[in-house]
A and B are shown apart, each in its own frame.
Chain A
Amino acid sequence: MVTKKPVTDDTLRTDGRGAAIDAEGVELTYADGTEAVKGIDLRVPEGEFFGFLGANGAGKTTTIKTFSTLLSPTAGSITVNGFDVRDEPRRIRETIGYMAQETSVDEELTARENIRFAAQAYGVPKSERAERIDELLDLVDLADVGDKQAGEFSGGMKKRLDAATALVHNPPLVFLDEPTTGLDPKARNRLWEYFERINERGTTLFLTTQYLEEADQLCDRIAVIMHGEIAATGSPVELKRRVGGEILDVDVPAGKDARERAAEIAREGDVFDADADVSVTDDGISVTAERAREHGTDLLVALRDAGITVTGFNIRAPTLDDVFLAITGEELDSEDRSADAVDVTEPEVGAE
């Protein structure tokens, strides 16, 4: 189900069979009563690039902090790198890297001193330290400013330094909490490259993001989290398949009535199968259907026959954006249908 990346010998590994993260029934309720996480089951195999996708406030940061021992779960069990979060938090801290959502560097120290501090804190042997620091400065392209104070760095440089300090002990598992938030596209692409590079070396990565594009680009497998629960899990391709086909956007500039009429034609006509999903957008209509690519032109003909002017036409594969909307829609639908909201989420549907 997941393609294993090649593993090189110099990477820290667990025994190769276990899960980097194994979580069951994880709940976290804050002291003020906020239920941030409401029962999460999750298994991340070693070497996987796993994405945790959700909107602001969905519970991503709470989950990642619970996995990395910053918060103690209210209920459930979590094993990280084979260690229990409650019994052996220090062992977990030794074997994970953690990059917080907020850039965390000591601005009064130089880049080199920041990495040295982390290297000492993580117990990197003295004999390897200097070499390791240089290697990391190279990896994140900060070698030429290594002796400058971090306070002088741009946001992107600080982020890269932050990432370097999380990797200093070659951890087999790295948590990245919205690592590219607030970065310009160039800085973001550069960080992506580093993440892909360390994942290729065999490191398991657990990334949270609200950018669907980011999860799509980087991750082997994605879980979508909504309101503290996992709404869907699967590879980007599997999740996109859930949308139900390709998407056909038709621009109809003539006004709302024309758009409604166009939607009616798409729905009623015999162009698409019955399970096609037609919606009116701000610019025209949008049709999601299994064979949108084949039947797109038929729709155009039907619209022309009906005297509706079409100014734009586009067929595209679904993005995770569409997945998001589809899942949210399904949730709303099933909530309407069923009083038992617990049945709504089927975390493992896409994965197994």
Chain B
Amino acid sequence: MSEASGDKAANESRPDGGQVRTMPSSNSFFSDFWVNFVRWNLKAVRNPFVVVGSLVQPIIFLVLFTQVFGQIATSALGSGGGAGGITYETFLLPAIAMQVSLAAAAGSGIGLVNDMEEGMFEKTLVMPMSRSAMFLGKTAAEILRIVVQIAIILALGTVLGANVATGVLGAVGILGIGILFSLWFIALSNIMAIVTRDQESTIIGANLLQFPLLFVSTAFLPLDAMPDWIQVVATYNPITYGVDAARALMLDQDVMTVVEVTRFGGIWDTLVPAIAVLLALDIVLGGVMIYLLNRASSSAVQ
């Protein structure tokens, strides 16, 4: 032990940082972010299932729903309140855009679990990177994917006869709502990933949530065309807020009926409460996720 203490003295006398010649600590937060952003984008491109998979289902929904329910639904829209006088394609498209966002967001947790199973999660924890930059890089890659996919859906919908009443600016707005809307589900799917640490559970969990939630919201039919209990559930369903916000931009109308706001005028009566609800949800679930992620990072093997 005397040897060890003698050595400590030698260590103390070293000039700080002069111990190792090349210090790679020059890595900035942005470069850490960028490395991970690039890695996750590469992975997404390499894995066509990820990109196509989260697009196929919404596209099937878009085509089937408009073809099968088109006529009935359009007449239901005509008799209904807020969203009258439009085609079902136009009504449905913003909901499908949100569905894309949801499906892609579910992939976030799956990516995390996959990283844990491959050992990459631990490997990156031993690397001298900022952990927030690592996670932000991954999330940014997922958001980029969501934006591209929503853009594809909007273009496809336009081809099918839907019309964005607020123009290009409104379409960009829908992309923005898509991002805001994806964050709470990204957080949720990561929470499931950390808690279960199992790929299948995460996939099943995300799907189990995704579909019922979509149906008990204003996604596929206007609120007043549905039974009372669904109207109640829809009021507390986050999907309603994402869909209504996107739909308000699509139709250039105040379409929100679950919460009546009249203070802001026009589509802002929908957008302001919807964005407020989504932001609150993002912050709460995001907070839980960061807490769990921190815990998982500091004790990777437990």
Interface residues, chain A, with chain B CB atoms under 8 Å away: 12-15, 17-19, 22, 24, 30-32, 41, 43, 61-62, 65, 68-72, 79, 81-82, 90-91, 93-96, 98, 100, 102-109, 113, 117-118, 120-124, 149, 165, 169-170, 172
Contact = CB atoms under 8 A, between A and B. Distances in A.
Choose among A65, A117, A149, A169 the residue with the greatest number of B CB atoms under 10 Å from its CB: A117
B298 A122 contact: no
B122 A104 contact: yes
21 contacts: A12-B22, A15-B10, A15-B14, A18-B11, A24-B1, A30-B302, A43-B3, A71-B299, A71-B301, A81-B20, A93-B126, A93-B128, A94-B20, A94-B128, A100-B119, A100-B123, A104-B119, A117-B35, A118-B127, A121-B27, A123-B26
A202 to B, nearest CB: 12
B150 to A, nearest CB: 24
B50 to A, nearest CB: 10
B119 A94 contact: no
Contacts of A165: 123
Nearest to B46: A108
Given A18-B14, A19-B7, 16 more contacts: A15-B18, A19-B4, A22-B4, A62-B301, A65-B300, A72-B299, A94-B24, A98-B123, A104-B123, A108-B43, A121-B27, A121-B129, A122-B127, A123-B25, A165-B123, A169-B22
A109 B20 contact: no
Mostly, the B contact residues are: helix
Interface string B11-33: 10010001111111111000110
B25 A91 contact: yes
Nearest to A32: B302
A96 to B, nearest CB: 8
A70 B19 contact: no
Contacts of B122: 70, 100, 104
Given A14-B20, A43-B3, A102-B119, A94 B25 contact: yes
A130 B4 CA distance: 40
Given A72-B298, A100-B119, A108-B47, A12 B128 contact: no
Nearest to B13: A15
Given A109-B46, A121-B35, A122-B24, A93 B127 contact: yes
Band of interface residues on B: 35 or more
Contacts of A69: 126
Contacts of B300: 65, 70-71
A56 B263 CA distance: 67
B302 A31 contact: yes
B128 A13 contact: no
Given A61-B301, A104-B119, A109-B43, A14 B19 contact: yes
A121 B32 contact: yes
Contacts of A82: 11, 14, 19
Contacts of A117: 35, 39
B119 A70 contact: no
